[in-house]
Amino acid sequence: MNLVILSRNKNLYSTRRLVEEGENRGHDVEVVDPLNCDLIIEKEKPTIYYKGRYLDDVDAIIPRIGASVTFYGCAVVRQFEMMNVFSTVSSDAIIRSRDKLRSFQRLSKGGIDMPKTVFTNYSKDVEEVISLVGGTPVVIKLLEGTQGLGVVLAETKNAAESVLEAFNGLQARALVQEYIAEAKGVDIRAFIVDGQVIGAMKRRGKPGEFRSNLHRGGTHEYYRMTESELKIAIKSARQLKLPICGVDILQSNRGPLIMEINSTPGLEGIEGASQKNIAKAIITFIERNKR
């Protein structure tokens, strides 16, 4: 098959591993920068023009769309979908997962537990918003932040009010979420391929840091998930229609809570911690579904 990985950097670990495993299984693999794609939209024959040629011989794509290029990156994925090219993750699912408010609303509808969350339309009554999630400390998240960026832990009422007022002043929409103190800066990342958990790791924030993201200096280790954690991870991925994703789970006194779902999760940490060949599993998923 002719496979295309939509990635802005062919040297990234995740991109390199997908190329390696695709070629190991006999496929032709090309890395394409989505921002260099021209979308030609016409009746009955949508096409993509890239570096002097048409991409009209592609069998499947693997989107590795960064949050900063979501709009155009998803337009490219959608164009491939219009060309009847198989995608490991749909453009709609990527957009849905990148909007934290929309994601939490869909998870709530599916009966999936998560930290209590409040969203308002730039409310001036900041004190009321804080009280609705049970008071401080609270976690304040920008709607479209990623890799821990745009996430703030406000430990006092004054700090929470200052952060919310600052975000409101910038017209940056944010969620206010209860802080799960018993998690102690630790979360579980479950990696899902074809609707099943194929690897998991425990991530721990560096000293003094409540965010456990590896990009923020966190550490990771192998983790064996409990039955309840497996169920909530699989159910959450299904609710957002993400056959491949990373599901982040907090361990709380009331059971596992969904913190976030990543539609284009990195492979380096999870392959290292779980010792599983995640890249090969993704290529195999394409082979099964393309057939």
**How confident is the model over 253-288, as pLDDT tens digits?**
999 999 999 999 999 999 999 999 999 999 999 999
pLDDT (0 to 100) of residue 120: 75
pLDDT (0 to 100) of residue 212: 53
Tokens for 131, please give them: 């009280």
| Residue-wise pLDDT tens digits, 44-74 | 889 999 999 999 999 999 999 988 899 999 9
First-last CA distance in the chain: 11
In a domain, 219, yes or no: yes
Q: What percent of the chain has a predicted confidence (pLDDT) above 90?
A: 66
- The span from the CA of 226 to the CA of 206, in Å, is 25
- The span from the CA of 108 to the CA of 230, in Å, is 18
**Three-state SS sequence of 19-45:** HHHHHHCCCEEEEECHHHEEEECCCCC
Sheet containing 219-222: order of strands? 219-222, 196-204, 186-193, 244-252, 255-262
> Do 187 and 268 belong to one domain?
yes
Domain that includes residue 245, residue range: 182-290
Burial class (CB in 10 A: 0-12, 13-18, 19+), 159: middle
- The span from the CA of 93 to the CA of 201, in Å, is 24
- Are residues 3 and 286 in contact, defined by beta-carbon separation less than 8 angstroms? yes
| Residue-wise pLDDT tens digits, 124-152 | 677 888 888 888 899 988 876 555 567 88
pLDDT (0 to 100) of residue 151: 85
Number of domains the chain is built from: 3
Region 243-250: mean pLDDT is 96
Region 101-124: mean pLDDT is 88
pLDDT at 100 over 80: yes
Closest-CA residue to 280 (of 98, 9, 4, 26): 26
> Do 168 and 227 belong to one domain?
no
In a domain, 252, yes or no: yes
pLDDT at 217 over 60: no
- The span from the CA of 94 to the CA of 65, in Å, is 9
Of the three residues 61, 95, 129, the one that is the final residue of a domain is 95
Question: Where does the pLDDT of residue 158 fall: very low under 50, low under 70, confident under 90, or very high at 90 and above?
Answer: confident
Region 199-217: mean pLDDT is 69
pTM for the predicted model, two decimal places:
0.87
Question: Where does the pLDDT of residue 91 fall: very low under 50, low under 70, confident under 90, or very high at 90 and above?
Answer: very high
> Do 274 and 190 belong to one domain?
yes
Helix, strand, coil in percent for the chain, rounding step 5: 35, 25, 35
Q: What CATH number does the domain containing 68 carry?
A: 3.40.50.20
The partner residues of 196 in beta bridges, in order of sequence, read: 193
H-only helix segments in the chain = 13-24, 70-82, 91-98, 100-109, 126-132, 157-169, 227-239, 268-274, 278-290
In a domain, 167, yes or no: yes
In a domain, 108, yes or no: no
Tokens for 107, please give them: 């998870």
Closest-CA residue to 220 (of 204, 236, 198): 204
Q: What CATH number does the domain containing 239 carry?
A: 3.30.470.20
Give Cα separations from 1 to 4, 135, 143, 184 (angstroms).
10, 54, 37, 46
Q: What are phi and psi of 152, to 5 degrees?
A: -130, 135
> Do 272 and 201 belong to one domain?
yes
- Are residues 183 and 167 in contact, defined by beta-carbon separation less than 8 angstroms? no
Give Cα separations from 125 to 26, 88, 152, 264, 273 (angstroms).
60, 43, 19, 36, 44
- Cis previous bond, 115, omega within 30: no
